[in-house]
Amino acid sequence: NIKISKMTEAATNNDEVEVILGPDLTPTRSYMDKKIYRHITLPNGLQCVLICDTVALKQRKLDGYDDDDESDDDHDDSSSGDESEVSNDGDDDDGTRKAATALLVNVGSYHDPPYLQGLSHFLEHMLFLGTEDFPIENAYDSFLSQHGGDDNAYTDMEHTLYHYCIPQDNNSKHVWKALEMFSSFFKCPLLKGEMADRELKAVESEFELNKNSDDARLSQLMSFTCGMDGAAPIMGRDFDWKDKIDGGIGSSSEKPFHPFAKFPWGNMNSLKTEPEAKGIDVMEELRDHYNSHYYAQNMRLVVMAGYELDEIQRQVVQYFKDVPANPRNNVDNGGVATTTNLHPYKLPFHSSSLGKIYRALPVRHHHTLSLTWQIPSICSHWRTKPAEYLAHLLGHEASGSILAVLKQRGWATGCSAGTGDDGEGDSSMHALFGFSFSLSEEGVQHWEKVIGVVFSYLGMLKYYFNEGYVDENGEKKEGLPRWIYNELKSVAELSYKYADEGDVTDTVEVVAEAMAPWYNIPTDRLLDGDTLLFGEVVDNDCVSRLLFNYFTPTNMRVDFMSSLFGREADFKDGTGLSPNSEEKKAEDTDEMTVEKDCAVAVFDIEKAGAPTIEPRFETKFWVETISSSIMKQWEENSTPQLPGSELELKLPPINSYIPTNFELKPLPADDSSHPLLNCSVKVCIGNGKKMQWYPACVIKFKTEKNNHLLLLHFEDEHEQWYTVDSNIVDTDADTLEAGFESSFDNGKVKFKVTAVPREGEGIVFSYGDADHDYDVEDGVAFPPIPPASPESRLPQLVYSKNSLKLWHMQDRRFKRPLADLRLNFVCDGMNDALKQACMDLFCKLCADALAETCYLASVCELGSSLYSNDTGFSIRVNGFDDKVMLLAKEVLDVVMSFRGRDGHTCLPSTIKDSRFDACLEVLRRNYSNSGMDASSFVTGLRLLCLKPSTKSSFSKLKALEGISSDKFVECMNQVLQKISVEAYYHGNVCREDADKAAQMISEALTIHHRGLPKKKVPSKLIIKAKEAVDHHLITSPTVDPTDNNTSVEVYFQIGKDDLTNRVLVDLLEHVLDEPFYNELRTKEQFGYEVSCGARWTFGVLGMSFKVTTSCKTADEASARVDRFLGEFRAQLESMSDESFMEHLVSLAKEKLEMFDSMEDECGSYWSEICEGRFDFEGHRKEVQCLKTITKESLLAAYDDWLHPICHKGKPKKRRRVVFHVIGKGSIGRPTVDDPSEIGEHVDGLVRDFHNSVKGETWGKITF
């Protein structure tokens, strides 16, 4: 039913604006989701989803709440009306979520003109550079940054999405101001030509940052070689790309054009050099692209805030009603409301591109075999998701799976299957079902047999499909056993039912993406359509078509990247290749045929001849027709039949990890749950002869001698117990809201509720009156700081014996049947590269041995991880508490099988001998790929210099040379001989559960356990940087010699952690971040990646300024950082008191933000335990300290730590270390004769730095 809603706007002189109400989405929200949803369509055709955050259910009535703040006696409290109370309830001061907005435009890279590829991405960048309403270039970003918000955008194949979030304020000024500024993107952007050249450099920098990504290179290689790039050149305005439509596989002898063949990234060549050479006006095309596609009917908007839906709707109508309904340039959009008109293009791979193997040189060390089947678009199959169903079967990792067979033969170490979740894998035109394998070196030699196993499994699935199953009525049905779909459906329902709220930005993004017209999800299923399975059985017609018609050898494309063929760096240096070979240009299409007998050998580049070069990423590749004999064998394998017994392929086993118990554990009687718990209240108490209302919050509930008692915490830190009156003993938590009034102590003490915590929130505190609450928003007062939580609400040490400590906290916030068990093992003597490398290998071997078990668990949303660190290793098991300990015991049994084996040199029975070499090969490859990205490498280099206990990947790779399983076991016997364990059990687990967990862990440590004494636990030491006028410069070439990027990190070390300095550093980051980005990134285009941030390294504070660039030298970048710090001081000194207070209040709000999920809360507390701080409410202390910070104290800290000039006008001594990682061809790049020696060069730099400071550290830091 279509309903019309009339909204009256004060801003439009009470003109009535009619909107169409869509279907009610609220009934389809998850069981734990308390938000309220509304779908509307504005008169201009803009479809919107409005989301009232959960505060609307608990903190006020939808009709509003008037707090007259009066009692029977006179008092001085002021009255507050509906608007202030509503705004206060939506306030994010005390741990509440931010407001968030996302807008999707139904245009993406597939809509780029062929002669301007990357145009949609370029336009996305340009919208951030000012509008007619807000013409200052960085006004939007500056506003969000100053008030604690952030923003971003991305361009996909068929849509572009913009989003932001911002803390919510009391009188809505900041929330709705951000919405107004955001809306102007889509009404009146400047799109100035003088800004375009600078922003083109940002697009180019983004491309350069990703140019050496093998995933991106492979994606573009597939687009370039799909055989659908048009019979005519793609450059030139006279090319009518819309007429080049292919009806399917091999329907034309020509090469028609397909949007898949485009280059979605865009760079300087595609957006400037090439079009300008053809006489194309890029800015005219950019504006035309905006005018053609950025109109209301082609957009989808999602707004989430802590305000009533009517208020959100008023604001949305006010700011978005003027977005034009139709294209601004009056282009003919075919009579449809959106620009998704790509359906006629169908499948992207021309028949000429199939039946071939594309071998490509990777940048990194890896061996990836990718199989791709093109299939019709699956967007319309959202109800039963048949492609995901088949991906589950093909990508399964348990016993009997494809991967299990390949691992048994030593050919593969991992796999993934499916269409992916981006527009490239699934679109309105087609879908690409990919199946990729990480192969071993031996697997590279048997690539065709690996594919043969895949088709044997497909043949088995076809056999079982034809055999069918018997349904509950005894009738035989076509299709695979029904329990497979039922398991997937059950797990999907459980996952959705108990899903965490998650980050607000993720929430609005997910809904906006579901609204994308090309995605095909009906409006009434926007919330759950992408997650749940709706049919009683899978769509067997679709499954049948995919299995029998599309998953065939002739419809398959094979892409193979392997460093055994060589790598880009090798080729450019001529290593391993014929020096006389010439590279083929892109238009050359000569091919070779691979015969079966030579396919088993590693590809020989010299015999293969010169490669073809993909023109954008410059990937070198060879195209080879797969021989008919190999194709015939695959065809035979794929016929409906059971595989031979030697393959041991079978359907997945019935999953024993599906949870069945979802009961929440009762809380302890002396600190139980009550609807008023954590609420903010006002209590009427006698003050002399007058009755006065005092703000307080409820912090504890207990039952004692049949009395229900609540503990109230007052603003002056006083605490008082009150007896709950009988009329509110059974108050329903779901109906409790701000404005509720009752009494304590048999009617003697009146109270009223002023704020109710939302899900995931702890104690809330609201003054409940306009005078105080407006002050918070206006920047003249801090947000209320909640009282300290009772100790019983924080992690408690419940077991401490024999070097095992276990902390426990029962969940009270999120009320989900979930648990999280985390363990950290500190081992003896982890002080050299060999032992740290062996620990890495140990974790890989254990994870490999557990892969089949852990995969079954992961299907049931039960996660596990095992990873090494400088002092030992850590384990995490999390998910439904019903099965957490079952999986944890499996993990511990394997891990602990290495202990108590002194004198043994063979691997334990839990580890198969054949897997040692396989895992060692993977680890060595990982080490060799370390630091290949300049940006991550420069940060890693800083940490290597600061943390002497950390050994580099290069040194660990060297330490593993010649290692045998015997030597490995001998090393692990030493390392695991004495260990100390710290554990944390969090979630729907009571004290009894914690005691059982401690017992299980203790037993798993085995009877041979010898604890590591506390005095033997290694200290985490940090090198003390020299305080000097001249900085210490550490310069390294990029590990990847083909990387054009240079990355610079300027690090200022401040000193040992203390509360005041920590707060000052955080405030400096808050003040500096946006101006630093605006100057170096937006205005001066130093590079795409420009950032600054506070650093906390094992108890030592610091600040880091980072620039990654492909157009500036390292010296220019680091010098510009220092010049910025010199120039910014004047801005800081002249900052108005109002602006300074806004920064303080914004940072305070950030620190008091609520946890988004149980995982976030657990992670925060676990970090305190691991670091030995145990300051579980440090955020409160930091905000309390923040209240004492003045502009003068901030300026003094800036002068002391960052400013390059002292008060006498001379260069200042600072603890400043500068790290340069210099890319190919850039000035100052150190010469390393052999790229393989870069590791030794880096280790030498680290040693030199340690020697320069004489190894001096900050000593053992205690908290």
The model's pLDDT over 1147-1156, given as tens digits with 9 standing for 90+, comes to: 998 998 888 8
Average pLDDT, the chain: 88
- Mean pLDDT across 784-813: 91
Is it the case that residue 1115 has pLDDT exceeding 70?
Answer: yes
> 């990646």: which residue's tokens?
1089
pLDDT score recorded for residue 587: 45
- Mean pLDDT across 1175-1202: 95
> 């070390």: which residue's tokens?
1053
Kindly give, in sequence order, each residue whose CB lies less than 8 Å from that of residue 1251, ignoring residues fewer than 6 positions away: none
Nearest to 1090 by CA among 1076, 1103, 1111: 1076
What single-letter DSSP state applies at residue 1188? T
Round to whole Å and give the CA distance between 368 and 219.
13
3-class secondary structure, 933: coil
Kindly give, in sequence order, each residue whose CB lies less than 8 Å from that of residue 396, ignoring residues fewer than 6 positions away: 402, 403, 652, 855
Is it the case that residue 1002 has pLDDT exceeding 70?
Answer: yes
3-class secondary structure, 814: coil
HEC readout, 163-192: EEEECCCCCCHHHHHHHHHHHHHHCCECCC
3-class secondary structure, 129: coil
Q: How confident is the model at residue 414 (pLDDT cuts 50, 70, 90)?
A: very high
Catalytic residues: 124, 199
CA atoms 966, 967, 972, 977: torsion sign: positive
Q: Give the angle 78-82-85 at the CA atoms, nearest 5°.
A: 70
C-alpha count within 13 angstroms, C-beta hemisphere, residue 1167: 12
pLDDT score recorded for residue 671: 86
The interaxial angle of helices 1137-1151 and 1059-1077, nearest 10 deg, is: 110
What single-letter DSSP state applies at residue 298? G
Task: Say which range, 468-482, 571-585, 609-623, 664-678, has the weakest mean pLDDT.
Answer: 571-585
Nearest to 659 by CA among 880, 509, 383: 880
Q: Which two tokens stand for residue 523?
A: 């409006």
pLDDT score recorded for residue 593: 41
- Amino acid residing at 329: N
- Amino acid residing at 128: F
Buried b (16+ CB within 10 A) or exposed e, 1054-1065: beebeeebbbbb
- Mean pLDDT across 994-1003: 96
Q: How confident is the model at residue 1234 (pLDDT cuts 50, 70, 90)?
A: confident
Round to whole Å and give the CA distance between 838 and 108.
47
Query: Over pLDDT 90: what percentage of the chain?
Result: 73
Calculated CA dihedral for residues 795, 797, 798, 803, nearest 10 degrees: 140
pLDDT digits (tens, 9 = 90+) for 354-374: 999 999 999 999 999 999 999
Buried b (16+ CB within 10 A) or exposed e, 442-480: ebbbbbbbbbbbbbbbbbbbbebbeebbeeeeeeeeebb
pLDDT digits (tens, 9 = 90+) for 510-538: 999 999 998 889 999 999 999 999 999 99
Is it the case that residue 755 has pLDDT exceeding 80?
Answer: yes
Q: What's the chain's Rg over C-alpha atoms?
A: 32
Concatenated DSSP letters for 639-686? SSSPPPTTT---PPPPPTT-----PPPPPPGGG---TTTT-EEEEEEE
Q: How confident is the model at residue 55 (pLDDT cuts 50, 70, 90)?
A: low
Instruction: Return the number of other C-beta atoms located less than 10 Å from residue 901's C-beta.
Output: 19
pLDDT score recorded for residue 470: 86
Kindly give, in sequence order, each residue whose CB lies less than 8 Å from that of residue 158, ignoring residues fewer than 6 positions away: 106, 107, 108, 110, 111, 340, 342, 423, 427, 428, 516, 518
pLDDT score recorded for residue 340: 60
Is it the case that residue 468 has pLDDT exceeding 60?
Answer: yes
What's the pTM value of the predicted model, to 2 decimals? Answer: 0.89
Is it the case that residue 1169 has pLDDT exceeding 50?
Answer: yes
DSSP H helices in 1053-1177: 1059-1077, 1114-1134, 1137-1151, 1158-1171
Nearest to 92 by CA among 166, 167, 179: 167
Q: How confident is the model at residue 1037 (pLDDT cuts 50, 70, 90)?
A: very high
Is it the case that residue 734 has pLDDT exceeding 80?
Answer: no
pLDDT score recorded for residue 1226: 93
Q: How confident is the model at residue 939 (pLDDT cuts 50, 70, 90)?
A: very high
Is it the case that residue 57 has pLDDT exceeding 90?
Answer: no
Task: Say which range, 5-19, 464-478, 799-813, 1019-1033, has the weakest mean pLDDT.
Answer: 5-19
pLDDT score recorded for residue 576: 40
Is it the case that residue 815 has pLDDT exceeding 70?
Answer: yes
Q: How confident is the model at residue 90 (pLDDT cuts 50, 70, 90)?
A: very low
Round to whole Å and give the CA distance between 426 and 428.
7
C-alpha count within 13 angstroms, C-beta hemisphere, residue 51: 29
- Amino acid residing at 199: E
Round to whole Å and give the CA distance between 744 and 636.
81
- Amino acid residing at 32: M
3-class secondary structure, 81: coil
pLDDT score recorded for residue 1125: 98
CB 110 within 8 A of CB 101: no
Task: Say which range, 704-713, 1020-1029, 1157-1166, has the weakest mean pLDDT.
Answer: 704-713
pLDDT score recorded for residue 885: 97
Is it the case that residue 60 has pLDDT exceeding 60?
Answer: no
pLDDT score recorded for residue 58: 44
Nearest to 454 by CA among 385, 376, 372, 374: 372
pLDDT digits (tens, 9 = 90+) for 957-973: 999 999 999 999 999 99
Measured between its terminal Cα atoms, the distance across the chain in Å is 63
pLDDT digits (tens, 9 = 90+) for 312-333: 999 999 999 999 999 998 766 5
User: Reduced to 3 DSSP states, what percent helix, strand and coil does the chain have, rounded to the nearest 5?
Assistant: 40, 20, 40
